[in-house]
A and B are shown apart, each in its own frame.
Chain A
Amino acid sequence: MHRGQGTVETEIDRSWLSRRDFLKYSMGGLAVIVVGSRLGWLAKSHAYAAVQTHTIELQIGDAIKQMVTHNSIHNAECYFWVYKCVQPAVTPPVEVPGPTIFATQGDTVNIKVTNLLDEPHSFFIPGVVDSGPIPPVQNAPDNVWSKSFIIPGTVSGALLYYDNLNEPVNRIMGLHGAFVVMPDFTAAPPGGVGNKWTPYHNPTSNVQSLFNAFGDPDVWPGLAWGEGGDNPAPHPPTPPFRTYIWLDHQASPNLFAEVGNFPAGEDYPAAQFVDLFLNSRDLTNGISFKGAQYFTVNGQSGHFSHNNPHITPMLKVGEPCVVHILNAGLWMHSMHLHANHFYVTSINGAVQTNPLWIDVFNIHPMDRVDYVIPYMRPPDVPNARGIGRPDTVLQSPGNALIPGSVPHPIWPPSEELDFSIPSKIGVVIPGVTGLTALNAAGQPIDLGVQLSPLCYPMHDHSEPSQTAQGGNYNLGLIAGMNITGDRNLPGGVTEFPNDPDHVPPNTIQACAESEESRS
């Protein structure tokens, strides 16, 4: 995430907000439902504005969604089938995917699903609950299914809830969402004294050892995964159990419209759907192209997922997190994270006995894969021994080409954090120019972006999946990890500058010098 300093007022008063908080309030979040009372930590999380309940009521209907490239001169809409949450009230009430549901093993869920579409649909969580066909709206009032079920103690991690009828058509049309089952964190971690929390009720010895190493000063100093921590005022505390969802999906406007226009009560042929979705080839991008054209994480693409703190972790060095990846679509993604190698700790519900430490992994359709990110200092930032430890960093002699540059340690990367690219108007950075544009009211906007906090992408390396209306990898399936500070600096927990009023000292100096040179 970069801090930007708009020169115009927006509908939100940003003057008191840090960049992160602005994003939290302004960007669309995930609708999150928390089942039961044992996940209180979620309420403390930046990432979720969670609503707590035991009772969930969904409606199955349809909607038109404006995709990432939709604007006044370019139509980019797509028809979907959706699970709308009517109880509890969540924000946003209608989205693809449906609301993310967090629950604890042993909790009771009371669920009611009403089908407003004109063919049967279902609500299905493998191994947990199966509605079977819920009759179509023509059968009202019999188009309702209700169930009370207990989450088994044999399941932990993230699952997909979805409509498993006419497979995979109904799921691909948008009827899916994430259902995350946590161990009972109000009890003691399994495995006895000395073990720390993992997201699993049945961690393998290697995965347990990995989580035990988080917060270990000899391996990864900072917080354990299940541990929260205070931050310098005015920053809120870092929550424990830092958990994120990356739910992958692909959308085809032309094919989805064809399904929507199919005669009422008839199922669109599934084999034909899959063939068109995967094999349509039309280099002119005409309406005959029925392949996937949008690639989403949690329903968003590009800027709206990459810069969204509900999707992209924005944490400090020493604050490890877990990302549950679910692929609801039909394409394989090769999801590559920058800045830190991650451990793959669980694949399709199997906690790994030999978890690889890697930077990219294959996510097949319907795969459930967990990435665990250590949130270590990016290890190839030069340091004393160069063996991947949190060693003393090296000392820069300063760069004569950077105004005001003096000898200094290179972490935190203070000169880089001061850079803005494009430069802010009036700020001199050699070799970097500024850009301006207009807002809706015709007032000028400064397009300068500061390189703080530190921004890194997670993106799909199978980039052919992102060449359609997503345009490029950076308008397609993308999230990331941002480093907003460092818990392990000698001076204590440090937040990198990201408030809108921060003006880098070096650039102030540069401005002054440049004014002098002009006079």
Chain B
Amino acid sequence: MSVNNPIFGTIPRQSAVGMENEWVKMFDPPKADPPTPDVLVPTNPVPEVMAAAGMQTAPPIAHTLERQLMHGMTQRTWDNATDLVFFVFRDPTNPTASGGVYPAPTTRIPRGAIFHGHTQGSGPPPHTIHWHGIEPTPINDGVGHCSMEIGDYTYQWQPNFIGTYFYHCHRNTVQHFNFGLYGLLPIMPPDAYFATQKNPAIPIGACRDGKFRTAANLGIIRGPTGGEVPIDPGAGSGFEGAIIANPYPGFIGGLLTDPDPLREFATNPHAMTVPYDAEAIWVLGDRDSAWSALADDARATFPAFGPHPGIDDDFARKPGRDGFFAFNQFNPDYWFITGVPVPAHRGGTGRLPNQAVIPAELNSGISGTQVPIDARIGQTILIRCLNGAYDVIEVTFPVDVTIIAWDGRSLGVPPFGFNHPYFVPAGTPIHMSVARRFDCLIRSDSEVHGVATVKFLSARHGGRLGTAPVAVTAEIPVNIGPAATGTYSVSGSAFSSRTGEALPGVSIVLNSNAGSQTAVTDASGNYSFSGLVNGRYTVIPNLAGFRFSPRQREVTMAGANQSGQFFRGRAM
């Protein structure tokens, strides 16, 4: 045998003749600014809700998100050793995001809304936005070689599944993704945001019953198969063990096709959803400072078609230096959890601070979303975890968790749920490669003061724990403290004084010296306020077109729950 004279000769490169157009478009996609074909009138309420809350200016185009890319940004590393260059999205309507942030603002949209994203690209060659996991037509999918790069374009789609997605630039992804052009994209229940528009007392992002909800089928949760069967929570199988009683209160089953009891939506917006009390977002990122240093030559990785496509295309724009091969071999040396630096060098372990809260302005208006978990006994905690790192990761929780969804598809929801949620015991690593994401729930009856460990493993070493070196270990504090002591609840219902039928959708305001809060009666006409300390409260019902008797109730809390606080409503 001989490298210079091989036995079987030369295997020629395939021909591009007759397909020069597709050949060129593949590696040198055109920039274009077309109008949106098959256009609809957008209905996404989020920009308007954000504007009403003073978190952004009035949207320049109604019901339309604005994203500009890209914008350069440098950030000093945690060890003060260097500056990392980030490529980021700008939102010109949002003062907090107008200079760009890493990761990009979390963008939430209610399921079923018509989404329009007006996107403008500038700077080093064109961009796109790919809404990862959202599945629209190609021109709205943000892949340059399947449509075009921008330019100026308004993406259009309608999210059909509640869950966790992300958005990122799909051009030259070695830079434009890894350098920070990505953000989380949770799809919320259909009545989120619309509920706040209808009743400003409903917290932004909560449903019309005042609760934050996400999709899940908690009808059947299974634990690990017993015996010697290895379990891989990242793959889902190996969980055919005992059925676990659902520990998460408030789960609503039914079918997605069930009618809406309030007749506001095409179907019941709360079918197959579970409420949560606390939410954490873990967007895992990694950076190679050697790559960052190449950022000034951002065009180096862009091949160009030649005068005779397929024959003389220019695949080495800078042959004297790096050519477009500048980004050989990724060796990360800085790591992030949702933008919070992991304070550790390669091979080390770094712990995040105990508390970090995502500003509402960067979270589609939702307050209180955490990075490290700081919650209470008995609360339902939702964690959305995205591997935005090129490394493979292993996440290990200090508490039992229930995996309810992968990649925006909740497990076990008919008619597509040929699977089921599963219970992952504390200490079991969950393994996943880049771009994968899971949603899980935690609820603990006892105090937890520990850390979730996130091990970053090199993808090019196969990414398997035990064979791939652990690049770094991040520790994310998980603290579940005692429930607030000495708290009680007020509950009751609203019903028609004529027919006795339940009155759902009645806004119930609870006033006290400590302030005001609002609940909404559910499909059975019931409402409840919990976590109340002893004292005097006023409860006031309100529903447009109805008069209630009594008009309000005075409740004195003295060491016991106050139930049966009902109201009769009569149409005016």
Q: Would A419 and B139 count as touching, CB distance under 8 A?
A: yes
Are A451 and B174 closer than 8 Å at their CB atoms? no
Closest-by-CB residue of B relative to A366 is B462
Q: Report yes or no: A96 in contact with B11, Cβ–Cβ below 8 A.
A: yes
Q: Do A360 and B435 touch (CB < 8 A)?
A: yes
Q: In the complex, what residues of B have CB within 8 A of residue A413's CB?
A: 37-38, 137, 139
Contact A447 B174 (CB under 8 A): no
A474 to B177: give the CA distance in the assembly, Å: 14
Which residues of B from 516 to 544 have beta carbons under 8 Å from A? none
* Complex: A302 Cα to B151 Cα, angstroms: 24
Segment with Cβ contacts to A, from B96-104, B155-163, B479-487: B155-163
- A63→B5 CA distance, assembly (Å): 8
Task: Name the interface residues of B305-355: CB closer than 8 Å to any CB of A.
Answer: 305-316, 321-331
Could you mark each residue 11-38 of chain B with 1 if its beta carbon is under 8 Å from any beta carbon of chain A, else 0? 1111111111111111101101111111
Q: How far, in whole Å, are A260 and B2 apart by their CA atoms in the complex?
A: 6
Residues A410 and B21 in contact, CB atoms below 8 Å apart: no
Q: A356: which B residues are within 8 A, CB to CB? A: 235-236, 406-407, 409, 411, 419
Are the C-beta atoms of A465 and B460 separated by less than 8 Å?
Answer: yes
- Complex-state Cα separation, A385 to B259, whole angstroms: 11
Instruction: Select B235's contact among A210, A347, A360, A473, beta carbons within 8 Å.
Output: A347
Query: Which residues on the A side are within 8 Å of B460 (C-beta)?
Result: 278, 292, 330-332, 464-465
Give B330's nearest chain A residue, CB to CB: A464
Q: Does chain B have a CB within 8 A of A94?
A: yes
Which of B73-81, B377-385, B426-434 contacts the other chain? B426-434
B83 at interface (Cβ–Cβ under 8 A)? no
Q: How far is the CB of B185 from chain A (nearest CB, A)?
A: 12
The complex places the Cα of A383 from the Cα of B38 at a distance, in Å, of 12
Bound complex: CA A344 to CA B406 (Å): 12
Q: Which residues of A contact B436 (CB under 8 A)?
A: 334, 358, 360-362
Task: Say whether, besides A285-B322, A380-B157, A432 and B6 are in contact (CB < 8 Å).
Answer: no
Any chain B CB within 8 A of the CB of A467? yes
Given contacts A66-B11, A344-B235, A446-B21, contact A456 B325 (CB under 8 A): no
Determine whether A270 belongs to the interface, using a CB cutoff of 8 Å to chain B.
no
Q: Which residues of chain A are near B111, meaning CB under 8 Å?
A: 386-387
Instruction: Determine which of A12, A340, A388, A431 lies in contact with B32 in the assembled complex, contact meaning CB atoms within 8 Å.
Output: A431
- Which B residues are in CB contact (< 8 Å) with A474? 26-27, 29, 144-145
Residues of A within 8 Å of B38, CB to CB, are 396, 408, 410-411, 413-416
Interface size on A, residues (CB 8 A): 160
Query: Do B21 and A282 have beta carbons less than 8 Å apart?
Result: no
CA distance A437 to B27 in the complex (A): 15
Stretch at the interface among A20-28, A101-109, A509-517: A20-28
Q: Within A354-386, which residues are at the interface with B (CB < 8 Å)?
A: 354-362, 364-365, 378-386
Residues of B contacting A281 in the complex (Cβ-Cβ under 8 angstroms): 328-329, 331
Query: With a CB–CB cut-off of 8 A, which chain A residues contact B130?
Result: 338
Q: Which of A26, A73, A360, A445 has the largest number of chain B CB atoms within 10 A?
A: A360
Q: For the complex formed, measure the closest distance between the CB of B316 and the CB atoms of chain A, giving whole angstroms.
A: 6
* Chain B min CB distance to A299 (Å): 9
With a CB–CB cut-off of 8 A, which chain B residues contact A435?
A: 24, 30
* CB neighbours of B8 from chain A (8 A): 61-63, 82, 84, 94
- Residue B545, interface by CB 8 Å: no
Q: Is the C-beta of A247 less than 8 angstroms from some C-beta in chain B?
A: no
B residues in contact with A472, CB < 8 Å: 27, 172-174, 301-303, 324
Contact A63 B9 (CB under 8 A): yes
Check if B237 sits within 8 Å of A303, measured CB to CB: no
In A51-79, the 8 Å CB interface with B consists of 61-74, 76-77, 79
Q: Which residues from chain B contact A125 at a C-beta distance below 8 Å?
A: none
CB under 8 Å from chain A, chain B span 139-171: 139, 141, 143-148, 151-152, 156-161
Q: How far is the CB of B322 from chain A (nearest CB, A)?
A: 6
Q: A72-B312, A386-B111, A464-B327 are in contact. Are A430 and B14 (CB under 8 A)?
A: no
Instruction: Find chain A residues with CB under 8 A from B559 CB.
Output: none
Q: What are the residues of chain B within 8 A of A365 when measuring CB–CB?
A: 462
A461-B34 in contact (CB<8A)? no
Question: B: which residues have CB within 8 A of A?
Answer: 1-3, 6-27, 29-30, 32-41, 111-114, 130, 132-139, 141, 143-148, 151-152, 156-161, 172-174, 177-178, 190, 222, 225, 234-240, 256-257, 266-267, 290, 294, 301-303, 305-316, 321-331, 390, 392, 406-409, 411, 415-420, 422, 431-436, 459-464
21 contacts between A and B (CB under 8 A): A63-B6, A76-B315, A283-B322, A291-B329, A306-B145, A341-B133, A344-B235, A353-B239, A354-B236, A355-B237, A356-B411, A357-B419, A358-B409, A364-B464, A397-B40, A402-B37, A410-B40, A437-B309, A451-B138, A451-B146, A467-B327
10 nearest A-B residue pairs (beta carbon): A386-B112, A431-B33, A415-B37, A362-B433, A464-B330, A401-B35, A334-B433, A61-B7, A382-B158, A4-B21
Q: A64-B11, A386-B190, A397-B40 are in contact. List 11 more A-B contacts (CB 8 A).
A: A65-B11, A74-B315, A80-B11, A260-B2, A261-B3, A283-B329, A330-B460, A360-B407, A380-B135, A416-B139, A474-B27
